[in-house]
Amino acid sequence: MERPQLPRNPARGGYLLNLKKLGIEIPIVASCIIAVYWHDLTILWDDALNNEMASYILALPFLIAYMIYKRRTMIKAQLTLEIEDPQKKIAKDTIGVSLCLSALLIYVYGSFTFNTLLYHLISLAIFTTGCTVLLTGIQNLKNLAFPLGFLLLLIIPYREEAYQASAQLSTLTSTLTYNILKTLNYPVTLSSTYEAPSIMIQAPTGEQVPFIIDIPCAGAYSLIGFLVFALFFTYIARGTPPKKLGWLISGFLLIYTINISRITLTLIIGHHISIEAAMGLFHLLSGSVLIFLASLLMIIIGEKALKIKIFRTDTEAKACPLCEEKQQRNEPFCTFCGKFFNPSNIRPAKIDLGKMVALALFMALVINLQVPAFTLAQQNVMEMDLHELEGSKETNEFLPPLEVYEPRFVYRDQRFEEIAKQDAALLYVYYPQNSSYAPIFVSVEIADSYSKLHRWEICLFVSEPNPIVNPIVSKDIQIIENPPVTGRIFTFRYVKSDQTVTILYWYEKSAFKIGNAWANRYIKTSIIAYLNNFIKTGEITSLNDYAKLENRLASIAQNIITYWEPAKTWSAFVVAFAGWGQNLSIATIIASSSLVTIWHLKRQRGKGEKARSIYKQLTWHSTFSEEEREVLKVLEALAEKERSTGSELAKSYEKRTGQNIRPARLMEIIRHAEEYGLVRKGIANGRDNPTLLWVAALPSQG
């Protein structure tokens, strides 16, 4: 058998990492994300500024940036190892490109659904993950999983489940507060206002005043904001997982208890002093103040009670005989002690810059096919002043006349505007020209943020402890195809009155005049049909014939949308393949993952066969060569621990053989073994400080 020839001077090259290139690539990727998702980011910005539930979004970029900054050394170290192996670039590029392409397909598909913004935000998270893989490699997803996962928090304000959970919290909060005040002998009663729980309390004047405990007052917004900061603190803190979980739960109980105390104290002040003083205190102790107090107390509890360390204290590293030599040779790691030197003077990789240019050109093409989350309306009736809506000529002309219906303005619900924090809540009726038709109502809600325009399912299902309606059917319907406007038809029956209602509603966006300025506003338009009225006119025969009204409501919706003149149509290409976007996205990920898996297994098999051959040769000749016996002993010592630094391996070798081994000689043996796949590099994370490990990769002898 031919004896193995171990190379005496293994190459020190392979570190083609260009850390400076990230300073070029990251702005390119960020520009692409902003350009493609500009309309969606605008919606998030409006919601963050104008809606308390989404205000935490303003903090997310800073928290994510800090988490990435905290892991920067681990990211660089892991990227160093990936670039050492050029063949890993194939898997990295394939997966990264497939994720970006999949995100684009989901983006277009989502634009033809009712939950457009939700799909766009999912697409944003996938696209960012794809770019991360292209920039930093596959293994770095472990280091960036938590920051990337924070992008999913953008979705919370737009999920029905969030409102349902918040409504249940509202009910629980009102019940607990009522029972506390009742136990303290205060004159309170529990009722509801606008389908939200409220506590009636007697003011000093003797007047019964309702205190509405809606979703914001219940502390739902504070809990969501606190969730973001609590997860952030849990991530950066040092402690065991059980301690961190207990710490997180105690924080939520703490902020909820503080909010119950805030509401109780507000009602007590309102009873003894005045409602004005009570509300002043209530707003003074706003959600942001609660989040600050709860976060501060959470840190104190973690530090003092659970001994969880928030801020890191680094310990001094022990002296290493090879560190200085490795640094002088511009190597990124000390292969003996495992220290990472954080190099920044490595030659750039032109292929990576080329990929970034290709990505920028691709995104430029995507922008031309871009589809916004909401169709933009540009009708001249939008020139009405939102401050002077009621009774104006423009208000009466807000809706188009139809063949057998005449639009009439009914009233403006200013009380609902105050509670929902909307700019306008208008009610119209399409009055029939003869008695053969039943009237159809149209509700128009206008707000400065999308999430203030709640869906009908949320408003009617989750407002009280007992449901006020029984749902019958809820489905999406394509109102117009180009530009796409998708609405939702919702049919339900009121529990108390047995009245059956069918509603078709959709969202749009437009610029409105407000005083002397113009501003973008979001619009929710609802067409409402009371089926009992249609039975009386003979248009339907029973309450179960609601399906017969769907086409009529859709036709009215088409007339309204056309009257408002959608801003632009989309290319026929986008419309044609949009319906296949979801399936194509899944197929893209499956196909690319399969190719990478097959390639990886084939490559590993080839490496394994080579390593097995070398290992057998070493075992066979170990009785003839002192050098080969030494190599085998080192490998066997490493196999006992599976993974260790060079310095730890030297101690294991000495313990196993009773002989000392020079660090330089040990590293020479290890690097020789690495050449033949008998060992490989790994990275350990010690408080966000990377340490190079040598991992046993000895093949089976069977």
Q: Where are the alpha helices (DSSP H) in 463-546?
A: 531-537
Half-sphere exposure of 435 (CA within 13 A, CB side): 1
Q: Quote the pLDDT of residue 423.
A: 85
Which of 556, 582, 606 is the endpoint of a domain? 606
Structure tokens at 532: 């009992």
pLDDT in tens, 114-159: 888 888 899 899 888 888 888 777 778 888 888 999 998 888 887 7
What DSSP element (H or E) covers 510?
strand 500-514
Residues 99 and 166 in one domain: no
- Residue 462 is given by DSSP the state S
Structure tokens at 222: 């504070």
Residues 659 and 626 in one domain: yes
Task: Please give the tally of structural domains in the chain.
Answer: 4
Half-sphere exposure of 192 (CA within 13 A, CB side): 13
The sheet with strand 196-202 has its strands ordered as 188-193, 196-202, 208-212
Residues 439 and 394 in one domain: yes
Cα separation, 85 vs 81, whole angstroms: 7
Residues 148 and 169 in one domain: no
Residues 636 and 578 in one domain: no
What letter represents residue 123's amino acid?
S
Residues 115 and 170 in one domain: no
Which stretches in the chain have pLDDT values below 70? Answer: 1-25, 82-88, 192-196, 214-219, 281-287, 311-318, 342-396, 459, 461-467, 513-517, 565-585, 589, 592-593, 595-633, 635, 639-642, 698-702
- Classify residue 441: in a domain, yes or no: yes
- Classify residue 509: in a domain, yes or no: yes
What letter represents residue 381's amino acid?
V
Beta strand extents in 266-381 (DSSP E only): 376-377
Residues 632 and 649 in one domain: yes
- Classify residue 309: in a domain, yes or no: no
What DSSP element (H or E) covers 511?
strand 500-514
Q: Quote the pLDDT of residue 506.
A: 92
- Classify residue 138: in a domain, yes or no: yes
Residues 425 and 503 in one domain: yes
Q: Quote the pLDDT of residue 616.
A: 54
Cα separation, 324 vs 530, whole angstroms: 83
Burial of 635 (0-12, 13-18, 19+ CB in 10 A): buried
Contacts with 641 (C-beta within 8 Å, 6 or more apart), sequence order: 648, 649, 652, 696
Residues 428 and 474 in one domain: yes
- Classify residue 625: in a domain, yes or no: yes
Structure tokens at 192: 């509801």
Query: Rounded to whole angstroms, what are the CA distances from 690 to 15, 75, 79, 572, 629?
Result: 16, 9, 12, 51, 32
Cα separation, 650 vs 336, whole angstroms: 9
- Classify residue 132: in a domain, yes or no: yes
Q: What is the DSSP annotation of 322-335?
A: SHHHHHHTT-SB-T
pTM of the model: 0.77
Task: Provide the Cα torsion 696, 342, 125, 151; round to 10°.
Answer: 110
Cα separation, 301 vs 274, whole angstroms: 36
Q: Return the residue matching tokens 């490989």.
A: 680
The CATH number linked to 686 is 1.10.10.10
Residues 602 and 613 in one domain: no
Angle at which helix 22-36 crosses helix 38-50, to 10 degrees, equals: 80
What residues does 517 pair with on adjacent strands?
Answer: 514
Residues 527 and 541 in one domain: yes
**642 three-class SS:** coil
- Phi and psi of 90, rounded to 5°? -60, -50
Cα separation, 125 vs 358, whole angstroms: 21
Structure tokens at 270: 């309102």
- Classify residue 506: in a domain, yes or no: yes
- Classify residue 702: in a domain, yes or no: no
**477 three-class SS:** strand
Residues 102 and 188 in one domain: no
Domain that holds residue 626: 607-696
